[in-house]
Every structure is written in structure tokens, then in C-alpha cells.
């Protein structure tokens, strides 16, 4: 039994406690650990406005109408906040009148990081729709699956991606409107509506938007996450879920932004993909709500990324581990590159303290570096370090109004410094997986705790360190790659009898998929042939280039693939 005094820590944040700057901020005075071994947030509970996400984002528009809302890092094309508001509203009105989008209808967005992305997303919300975001690098095979699962009524993309969309519609045997965002003078395929024309039509009657009836508990965002080893599931996030998370990271002790005033505006790098929950909430929706300048980087290239940080005087960076490794080692990364950077937050996957120190040594000045932890299902932020924290290997305590449990295999609560699965309860936790009662049953305990599938340890102060994953998702450069998806594709090959996929360490990607394949009797097939067969159907980060042929796949009595056995035998 853990000594009782380990559960009676009055404050978790010594550095904050010692700072007079935060003397007026309310921090929970009771124990971080309860006697039942539940970790309470040390931060004050959040007040969640009874608004839709659309109204929440624009509620302070009158304070910064002329400020830059979003700008393209490559071309300089962008919008002020006033322009973004007007254009997104016209787009919304046209979605309802010309495309018959009704309250609760899903509209797919398959775009790279361009300054129009937030306008498209907010326009869908203004129309009463639900955003379902799609990776712009997806193949037609991947796109059609999400379009069918989300029951999308329209899709917004780029002209150059239209052929992929059309192929996906043919595969799915559905017919929905395609709307393209025109960025240059390149021709647009026939039969395609243009976002630019829909949003710039000054004759649009916006009064149709008065018909929208959406409440804070309604679904507004439908990203797809693998959740476990299986195929993607629709994560139902409500307006309240995302607003709660924005308010949680607004807490003065954890906030990484500054107030937008007549003399200051934060410049935030939009390098993380907007279709991913991390960037969607923490960059796009949140930063628009506080009037920051969002610098959109459409295509990642190391030199461009580093030059953009310097050119736009970026002071806030939201990144994932591969970017930290790059910033700490690339020859183009210098002290001058990061001279304006004040705050950096790492998410998507844990990072070693040594990697953090390497970056800070390159920057050569004081930077508030922190790590956060979250999931698509939690909107995403669950934990984040406070300002001034030097515990670079940890992800901090739970954010406001959030409780955590660290449990063993039998869901019994563990105590400080014991490793177990993280369970979460808070206003940012999703409503559930769309049309998937079995997945919901597996994801939530009977008393409403969300099972993350991640292993972690919490110290006496409730500070979390991520240890490993119970679920077997492969994290390639921070992107989720479900083994089951690749295994299913491998088994579609006429020569394959069975297959298993695991994640193995990779120097630049973090992890990479490795496949084990059992061929059918009498069949022959090369590693290259199988790789080409799978890779033609999936996005680049899911590519399988490492294949080992085996006689059998180890499985449990229940038929579950024993991936740990494969790792022990071959890795």
C-alpha cells in the first residue's frame, strides 16, 4: 500500500507557487490524488460558454477585425479577420441554398494547410453542418471509405485533387457535389463549384443562416481515428467538447498565447496538418478565437519550414517529435531561426528530454518548452505542463475540470509511480464513436471513464509521463497507422493467406510498419510486389516497405495476433 501522505499533495506546481505573477490565480488547494487514487486537476475548473463553436470563435471579432487571420507561408495570400468572417458566412449561406446542406449534415474537407482551411471549416459550422476532415494525401480507396462512413453530403478540396475524389465516388457508388478552392491560375475541372466564387458572391442572401438551429451539445466535428488496432472510427466531438478544450488551455498557468492588442499579435506556425485534431483545435479554432495570426504551410519542406519561422517572426510553435528532431539537428536551423520563438509545445507522441535539450541548445535563448498529451477522442488535450516547467520529459498534470486514473489490467486504481493505463473523465471527452456501439462499449467503463489505451506513470504531484501504448497503433511521424488496415490490404492480394503488421523503430519516422506474410500454398510473390500492391492504396506515411515471409502468424486461443511474439522473434 502506498503511504497515505503521497495522496495529500496540496500543490503540484512549485515553480508556479513561488511566482508572485500567479498569486491571484486559483489553484486547487485540496489533494491532487484523492483517497480513491483519482488524480484531480491542480488547475481551476473551467466555465464552458453555452455557445456553438462558430459563435465561440467569432465572439471577440470586433477587437481585431483588421488583424491577419491566416496567411500562406509560400505565397503571402491571406485574409484579415473581417474578411474571413464575411467570406465564411457567404460560403455557409450558399452551402444551405445551393447544396441543400441542413443542420447536422456532414461536409468533408480534404485540403492541405492553406489559409482558406479555417474559412471553409467555419463556413460549414455556420451552415449548421458537421466537419469531417480527410487527409489530403489519402488515396481514392481511403477517401471513399470515409465518405461512406460519414455520409458526407459534399466535399471541399483542391482542383488538383478532384481526380482522386471522382475515383473515390465511383468506388463508393455515390454522387455528391465537389467544391474546389482555387489558389492559382491552374485550370479547374469541369462541373466543379468554386469556394472562391461561393464566398465572394456579394449578392448572397445570408438571412438563410437564421434557419440554423444548433446547440452546444450537438456534433460539430467528425474526425476519424483508429482508436485501437481496427479500422478508422468516426469520433463525435460536440461544440461543447472543443470549446471546453479551448477554455482548458486558456488557463493563465498553462496558456501559451498572449493577448491580441493594438501593439501585439501572436504569430503561430501552422505546420501540423489542420485535418488532425491537434492542429484543428489547438491551432485553428483556438488561435482564431484569440485573434492570433495563423501562418499556413501547405507542403512541408525542412528549409521552407525553418525560413518561415524566421520570416514571420513566429513566437509560438505547436509541433510533433520529428519537427523537434529537425529543429535541433538541421544545418539550416540556427540561433537566428528561432530568435522570436517564445513558446514550444510538443504533442502527438512523447519526446525524450535529451531531444528537447538539443533543440534548446540550437536556439540558444530561453524558450518555454512543454509537452502535452491527448487523443482525437479528447478534443485533444488531456494534460500539459505549466508555464516555466523544466520537466521536459513529462506531459504535465491534467487540465482543468479533468480527472485521471492510472489502472492495472483489472481496471483497479494504481497509485503514484506505478505504471498503468490512463483513464480520463472531463468535458472534452467525445460523445462516442459514430454508429459503433461495440467500440463505445470497449472505450468506456460502465461508470463513464474513457479508456485511452495508453500506458503512463503519474508522480506524487499528478505529473504524467507517457510510458507506452496498450493499443497497437503505429505512430509514423505522429500519424496513426492501424495495423489492421494494412493487414486487411495484404490479405486482399491473391497470393497472401495471412498477414500481421507491427511497428518497429525508425530513425527519422519514429516508427514504421513491418509486415509478416504467410503465402498460400504453391504461390510465389516478392516483397516488392506486395509493397507496391499495398502502397498504391494508402497514403505515403502508411507505406509498407519492410516485409518478412513466415510460415505462420502467432495467435492467441481467441485468434488475436500476438504482435509481441513477432517483435520478440524478429525485431
Q: How far are the Cα atoms of 59, 123, 210, 243, 246 from residue 49, in angstroms, in the given order?
A: 11, 21, 21, 8, 11
Residue ranges covered by each domain of the chain: 4-46+392-469, 474-570
pTM, full prediction: 0.85
DSSP 8-state assignment for residue 281? I
- Residue 61: in which H helix or E strand, if any? none
Reference 88, options 52, 65, 61, 117; nearest CA is 117
- Residue 200: in which H helix or E strand, if any? helix 195-200
| Strand pairing class (154-157; 106-109) | parallel
> CB-hemisphere CA count at 13 Å for 505?
3
Q: Which pLDDT tens digits describe the chain residue by residue (571 residues)?
A: 333 333 333 333 444 444 333 333 344 545 799 999 999 999 999 999 999 999 999 999 999 999 999 999 999 999 999 999 999 999 999 999 999 999 999 999 999 999 999 999 999 999 999 999 999 999 999 999 999 999 999 999 999 999 999 999 999 999 999 999 999 988 999 999 999 999 999 999 999 999 999 999 999 999 998 655 567 899 999 999 999 999 999 999 999 999 999 999 999 999 999 999 999 999 999 999 999 999 999 999 999 999 999 999 999 999 988 889 889 989 999 999 999 999 999 987 777 788 899 899 999 999 999 999 999 999 999 999 999 999 988 999 999 999 999 999 899 999 999 989 999 999 999 999 999 999 999 999 999 999 998 889 999 999 999 886 667 788 898 887 888 789 889 988 999 988 999 999 998 888 999 999 999 889 999 999 999 999 999 999 999 999 999 999 987 554 568 888 898 888 8
| Fold of the domain spanning 4-46+392-469 | Luciferase; domain 3 (2.30.38)
What CA–CA distance (Å, rounded) separates 255 from 249? 5
Backbone angles phi and psi of 390, in degrees to 5: -110, 5
pLDDT value for 42: 96
Strand, coil or helix: 417: coil
What CA–CA distance (Å, rounded) separates 219 from 497? 41
Q: Domain 474-570 classified CATH 3.40.50.1980?
A: no
Do the beta carbons of residue 541 and residue 524 sit within 8 Å? no
Backbone angles phi and psi of 359, in degrees to 5: -65, -45
Amino acid at each position: 500500500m502506498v503511504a497515505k501522505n503521497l495522496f495529500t499533495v496540496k500543490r503540484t506546481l512549485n515553480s508556479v507557487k513561488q511566482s508572485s505573477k500567479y498569486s491571484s490565480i486559483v489553484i486547487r488547494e485540496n489533494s491532487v490524488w484523492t483517497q480513491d487514487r483519482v488524480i484531480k486537476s491542480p488547475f481551476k475548473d473551467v466555465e464552458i460558454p453555452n455557445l456553438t463553436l462558430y459563435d465561440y470563435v467569432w465572439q471577440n471579432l470586433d477587437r481585431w477585425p483588421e488583424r491577419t487571420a491566416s496567411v500562406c507561408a509560400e505565397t503571402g495570400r491571406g485574409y484579415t479577420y473581417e474578411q474571413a468572417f464575411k467570406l465564411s458566412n457567404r460560403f455557409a449561406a450558399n452551402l444551405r441554398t445551393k447544396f441543400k446542406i441542413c443542420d447536422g449534415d456532414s461536409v468533408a474537407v480534404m485540403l492541405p494547410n492553406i489559409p482558406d482551411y479555417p474559412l471553409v471549416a467555419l463556413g460549414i459550422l455556420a451552415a449548421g453542418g458537421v466537419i469531417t476532415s480527410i487527409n489530403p494525401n489519402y488515396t481514392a480507396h481511403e477517401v471513399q471509405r470515409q465518405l461512406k462512413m460519414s455520409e458526407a453530403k459534399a466535399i471541399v478540396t483542391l482542383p488538383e485533387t478532384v481526380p482522386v475524389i471522382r475515383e473515390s465516388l465511383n468506388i463508393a457508388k455515390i454522387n455528391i457535389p465537389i467544391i474546389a478552392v482555387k489558389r492559382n491560375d491552374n485550370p479547374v475541372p469541369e462541373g466543379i463549384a468554386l469556394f472562391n466564387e461561393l464566398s465572394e458572391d456579394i449578392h448572397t442572401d445570408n438571412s438563410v443562416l437564421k434557419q440554423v438551429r444548433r446547440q452546444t451539445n450537438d456534433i460539430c466535428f467528425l474526425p476519424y481515428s483508429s482508436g485501437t488496432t481496427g479500422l478508422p472510427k468516426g469520433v463525435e466531438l460536440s461544440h461543447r467538447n472543443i470549446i471546453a478544450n479551448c477554455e482548458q488551455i486558456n488557463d493563465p498557468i498553462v496558456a501559451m498565447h498572449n493577448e491580441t492588442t493594438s501593439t501585439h499579435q501572436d504569430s503561430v506556425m501552422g505546420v501540423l496538418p489542420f485535418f488532425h485534431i491537434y492542429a484543428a483545435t489547438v491551432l485553428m479554432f483556438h488561435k482564431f478565437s484569440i485573434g492570433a495570426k495563423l501562418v499556413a504551410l501547405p507542403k512541408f519542406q525542412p528549409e521552407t519550414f525553418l525560413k518561415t519561422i524566421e520570416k514571420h517572426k513566429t513566437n509560438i510553435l505547436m509541433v510533433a517529435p520529428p519537427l523537434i528532431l529537425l529543429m535541433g539537428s538541421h544545418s539550416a536551423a540556427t540561433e537566428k531561426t528561432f530568435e522570436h520563438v517564445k513558446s514550444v509545445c510538443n504533442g502527438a507522441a512523447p519526446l525524450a528530454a535529451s531531444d528537447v535539450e538539443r533543440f534548446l541548445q540550437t536556439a540558444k535563448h530561453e524558450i518555454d518548452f512543454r509537452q502535452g498529451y491527448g487523443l482525437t477522442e479528447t478534443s485533444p488535450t488531456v494534460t500539459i505542463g505549466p508555464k516555466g516547467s523544466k520537466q521536459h520529459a513529462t506531459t504535465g498534470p491534467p487540465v482543468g475540470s479533468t480527472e485521471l486514473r492510472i489502472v492495472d489490467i483489472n481496471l483497479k486504481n494504481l497509485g503514484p509511480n506505478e505504471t498503468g493505463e490512463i483513464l480520463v473523465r472531463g468535458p472534452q471527452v467525445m460523445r462516442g464513436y459514430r454508429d459503433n456501439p461495440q467500440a463505445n462499449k470497449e472505450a468506456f467503463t460502465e461508470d463513464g471513464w474513457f479508456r485511452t489505451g495508453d500506458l503512463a506513470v503519474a508522480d506524487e504531484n499528478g505529473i504524467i509521463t507517457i510510458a507506452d501504448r496498450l493499443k497497437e497503433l503505429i505512430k509514423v511521424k505522429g500519424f496513426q497507422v492501424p495495423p489492421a488496415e494494412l493487414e486487411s490490404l495484404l490479405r486482399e492480394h491473391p497470393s497472401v493467406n495471412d498477414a500481421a503488421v507491427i511497428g518497429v523503430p525508425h530513425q527519422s519516422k519514429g516508427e514504421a510498419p513491418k509486415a509478416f506474410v504467410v503465402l498460400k500454398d504453391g504461390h510465389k510473390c516478392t516483397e516488392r510486389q506486395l509493397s507496391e500492391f499495398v502502397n498504391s492504396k494508402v497514403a505515403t506515411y502508411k507505406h509498407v516497405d519492410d516485409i518478412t515471409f513466415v510460415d505462420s502468424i502467432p495467435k492467441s486461443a481467441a485468434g488475436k495476433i500476438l504482435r509481441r511474439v513477432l517483435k520478440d522473434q524478429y525485431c
